[in-house]
Amino acid sequence: MLIPVILSGGSGTRLWPLSRELYPKQLLPLVGKGTMLQETLARVAGVDGLGAPVVVCNENHRFLVAEQVLEAGIKSQAIVLEPVGRNTAPAVAVAAMAAVADLPQSKGGGNDNDPLLLILPADHVIRDVKAFRAALEIGRKAASEGKLVTFGVVPNKPETGYGYIKRVNGAGPAYAIDRFVEKPDLATAKTYVESKEYFWNSGMFLFRASAVLNELRELAPKIYEACAQAVTAAKRDLDFTRLPSKEFGACPSDSFDYAVMEKTKHGVVVPLDAGWSDVGSWSALHEAIPADGDGNVALGDVLTADSHGNYLHSTSRLVAAVGLQDHVVVETKDAVLVAPKDRVQDVKELVNLLKKQGRYETSLHREVFRPWGSYDSIDNGRRFQVKRLSVKPGAQMSLQLHHHRAEHWIVVEGTARITRGEEVFLLEENQSTYIPLGTKHRIENPGKIPLHIIEVQSGGYLGEDDIVRFEDRYGREGEK
């Protein structure tokens, strides 16, 4: 059995303002019709002997991840929630332990209880899926023989933004690993490419569960022990496996490369020439998407005149460019980024500056998604805020109250079932109600179409942390 393990824990700050801490790039449709997470799942769909995937993600992303996996028509084996980020070595460890723990025990023993684990970051682009699957089969054979396989991307240019893997000379197609190399300078990168002995480090791996757990136990015992304790103490909650903060938080933070692959005697590298990109910057995303005759990638409502080599992305309004060359312009409802393509690596510094200023734009979009739907803050001022609420059919908000604000609700489409104190009643289109400060309340959508409500908040404090939850079908009681 081959189990895909999808690592979906990153924040993707270099693709701000589209990617935010609570809505990172792997959950966005940046290249194809589906999100990057969904494209990653689709890449392995139909592979022989494929088991249900295990997804490892940030606890704050759990509902978005679960919904996107469901939209892809896939039933996951487990969605493992990390309370804190601890890099890829602990993520691989808990995924391997969870995968083995959740498998039904085979009466005959054998490999049914020792599956192959295919480790895939959720935020990569691979244009040639056929070539990827061919490399996967090579890696599958090596992993079945006890090897720890990493996939090395055949470089098409000198690249200083990636680490490299040097293979040992000899017969392939799975080569012994000579060494891992940190990000080189340009001159060194040119020699690597010319030698044809070096590959970009993709961060994708394949091995048996027993093989990787044995290596973790021997080479990274502190990580292994902390993860074992965390998995043992984990709790199932809806579709999620919640790792406890205390045990997992005590785990050392380390990459799987450093903790295992650079030390193991069983590592091999399989060359991968499949149009790979980790989409680590706006310029990389520009290269990953077919451009028009002027070299522009234009997404959304974009108009250009005498402009060349640009990445132009609009999400909510017209973006017009005249005489612009080799720039990135990204528009969202609450922020606009303008940068030369050769300066996009500095976007991360811009995000750090926003964080120092306490700006919300680093973590949230103006439209915020919740398990029941979404809300969009469309206007605000002193002592008031206006939101547009969208509630999915059959969904409901938590039973909650606010200490510092009252709310007016106007139904503009659909039917709402309202709980207000001890009352429960229906509101139709063009009807409204008032929720006094300190009153328990809830909105439900009993219908078959989305429910849209305009909410007008008024009060001395309108922050999202002014909320007390009493009942919640999504397990968020007490969360702010």
Do 342 and 198 fall within a single domain? Answer: no
Residue 258, phi then psi, degrees to nearest 5: -65, -45
Specify whether the CB–CB gap between 274 and 132 falls below 8 A. Answer: yes
Give the span between the Cα atoms of 139 and 207, in whole angstroms.
Answer: 8
User: Is residue 362 one of the residues assigned to a domain?
Assistant: no
Give the span between the Cα atoms of 174 and 148, in whole angstroms.
Answer: 11
Q: Give residue-wise pLDDT tens across range 311-365.
A: 999 999 999 999 999 999 999 999 999 999 999 999 999 999 999 999 989 998 9
Which residues lie across from 339 on neighbouring strands?
Answer: 328
CATH of the domain at 270: 3.90.550.10
Give the contacts of 33 (CB within 8 A, at least 6 positions apart). Answer: none
Owning domain of residue 333: 292-351
Q: pLDDT-derived band of residue 104, with 50, 70 and 90 as boundaries?
A: low
Specify whether the CB–CB gap between 38 and 88 falls below 8 A. Answer: no
User: Is residue 397 one of the residues assigned to a domain?
Assistant: yes
Give the span between the Cα atoms of 127 and 118, in whole angstroms.
Answer: 18
User: Is residue 282 one of the residues assigned to a domain?
Assistant: no
Identify how many contiguous H helices and E strands the chain contains and give both numbers.
11, 30
Do 198 and 308 fall within a single domain? Answer: no
Give the span between the Cα atoms of 73 and 419, in whole angstroms.
Answer: 33
pLDDT at residue 171 in the model: 79
Q: Give residue-wise pLDDT tens across range 281-322.
A: 999 999 999 999 999 999 999 999 999 999 999 999 999 999
pLDDT at residue 408 in the model: 98
Do 109 and 205 fall within a single domain? Answer: yes
Which residues lie across from 63 on neighbouring strands?
Answer: none
Specify whether the CB–CB gap between 255 and 162 falls below 8 A. Answer: no
Do 116 and 183 fall within a single domain? Answer: yes
Do 143 and 272 fall within a single domain? Answer: yes
Q: Give residue-wise pLDDT tens across range 146-187.
A: 999 999 999 999 999 899 999 998 878 999 999 999 999 999
**Identity of the amino acid at 417:** R
CATH of the domain at 385: 2.60.120.10
Q: What is the number of domains present in the chain?
A: 3
Helix axes 209-219, 221-233, angle to 10 degrees: 120
Q: Give residue-wise pLDDT tens across range 38-71.
A: 999 999 998 999 999 999 999 999 999 999 999 9
pLDDT at residue 106 in the model: 42
User: Is residue 237 one of the residues assigned to a domain?
Assistant: yes
For 59, which DSSP code?
G
pLDDT at residue 95 in the model: 95
How many CA within 13 A on the CB side of residue 161? 12
User: Is residue 75 one of the residues assigned to a domain?
Assistant: yes
Q: Give residue-wise pLDDT tens across range 188-240.
A: 999 999 999 999 999 999 999 999 999 999 999 999 999 999 999 999 887 89
pLDDT at residue 107 in the model: 41
Q: Is the pTM of this model over 0.85?
A: yes
Decide: residue 381, CB within 10 A, 0-12 exposed, 13-18 middle, 19+ buried. Answer: exposed
Give the contacts of 188 (CB within 8 A, at least 6 positions apart). Answer: none
Q: pLDDT-derived band of residue 109, with 50, 70 and 90 as boundaries?
A: very low
What is the DSSP pairing of strand 148-153 with strand 2-8?
unpaired
Identify whether 173 is preceded by a cis peptide bond (ω within 30 of 0). Answer: yes
